[in-house]
Chains A and B, each alone.
Chain A
């Protein structure tokens, strides 16, 4: 159904439904908090739908979203300078589905985690604990927590890549 929508000329509703997830994730990637990303996603579509129909592409949406983000921050010139690298990395993640296949692969990889690795990810991303609070729970030093997280993330990244390649 999604594929049909992507190939057929879209009405405004279908257009938003197909692309909003990617734009929200993209804004989060640029550095927006969740609530800000939601506001800017909304504004992005308002601008895109006010413009020419021919410009309604994911790349255009990302450009609008990026401009809105930079204007809201007004200090991100350094980031702007690396915009191409930023785009390349994003396109590698989002593929044609706004990043959903990447997230699906990550779910599979998370199931393979055990022990401290699993606990560290849960404390960090589910309980949203700081490194210091995690250090208490895991009975490690703060540096130890950072190292543990880095290693787990590297494992997850490699696992996701393998899954996506297959």
Chain B
């Protein structure tokens, strides 16, 4: 039984056995409502607006009125005043109404961020943040997670939760062989704040995994900052090494597909050997394929001329022996390890100082080397 199910059963038992039944608040609500001036309905608001516009046009004084204060500004200020009320209901009404106004309330909300009342200032900042978030959200995200902006504007931590839920939706659809309701472009919006909002090491590792898995480039400036944390990097190293080995393995598998399609392996050397899989007609790999770049370098971003591209064969692979190396990753982000793959598809991670690595490098050309 899940915690939530148990909570419901407790509630039900409390009501059925304990006799704690729901109250009737009808008369109290109606009595309070009758004492409060009702806000104009949307129809009334429109009627007022149309009549006001007609009157302005008729009198021909529109340009004069423009110089006066917009009546809607007064309304927004009143709504912001609601935020400082001691009555919860007034504050809540203020928040809901300001949300409905959208960007129209922006200027006044910006002023309210400097309000002496910290509650008003905080709420105004949150409402402004919500507006910015709404602008960024894709229509798909808004459709799949209605009112998600309300959750996202609360704290940075909730971005990772939403990113996790988005990934789960995609995986669920894939498992059912249905079209996923969200794509990589939707995850891109969530990725950078999700990485930034990750607090614990586990959260950081989870966010990094999503960035890698879906190649979320928007988040790489944030992941680069995280990778400077030595302790975190140490815990990530085995996973990054394994992923890098998978990349080389996949590249070599695609190279063999290339050979099957065109009768021989690419003639290019060095990193261009792998690039030939992209420029082939039809392409064997997509230009933005994750396999073309070392995962650790993808997360850390280019540095000191290192782009994360893999070493490729120095000569014609067709003439290589099965034990000869055909690809290698020598990025210092893998610590003391160099990772390479042989023509026989054996993949290895060895200490850089090992003679085996020197032997592998002798058959290979580094990216950018002439």
Query: Which A residues have a C-beta under 8 Å from some C-beta of B?
Result: 12-13, 16-17, 20-21, 24-25, 28-29, 34, 38, 41-43, 45-47, 49-53, 63-64, 67-68, 71-72, 77, 80-86, 89-90, 93, 99, 102-103, 106-107, 110, 121-122, 124-126, 128, 150, 153-154, 156-157
For the complex of A and B, list the 10 residue pairs with the smallest distance between their C-beta atoms, beginning with the closest. A125-B17, A89-B4, A24-B22, A21-B22, A81-B161, A125-B18, A16-B26, A125-B13, A45-B29, A42-B25
Give the one of A45, A46, A126, A154 with max B CB within 10 A. A46
Which partner residue on chain A sits nearest B97 by CB separation? A51
Which partner residue on chain A sits nearest B28 by CB separation? A42
Contact of B24 among A12, A20, A122, A128 (CB under 8 A): A20
Q: Once bound together, how far apart are the Cα atoms of A68 and B165, in whole Å?
A: 24
Query: Is the pair A25, B23 in contact by a Cβ cutoff of 8 Å?
Result: no
CB-contacts of B25-81 with A (<8 A): 25-26, 28-30, 32-33, 36, 38-39, 41-42
Tell whether A45 pairs with B20 under 8 Å between CB atoms, given A81-B161, A157-B1.
no
A-B contact pairs, 28 of them (CB 8 A): A12-B29, A17-B24, A20-B25, A29-B8, A34-B20, A41-B23, A42-B32, A43-B89, A45-B29, A46-B29, A46-B32, A50-B33, A50-B39, A51-B93, A53-B41, A63-B147, A67-B150, A68-B92, A77-B157, A77-B158, A80-B151, A81-B161, A83-B151, A89-B5, A93-B8, A126-B17, A128-B18, A157-B1
Q: Is B2 an interface residue (CB 8 A)?
A: yes
Query: Is the pair B92, A67 in contact by a Cβ cutoff of 8 Å?
Result: yes
A-B contact count (CB 8 A): 134
CB distance from B48 to the nearest CB of A (A): 15
Chain A residues with CB under 8 Å of B88's CB are 43, 68, 71-72
Contact of A157 among B5, B15, B23, B42 (CB under 8 A): B5
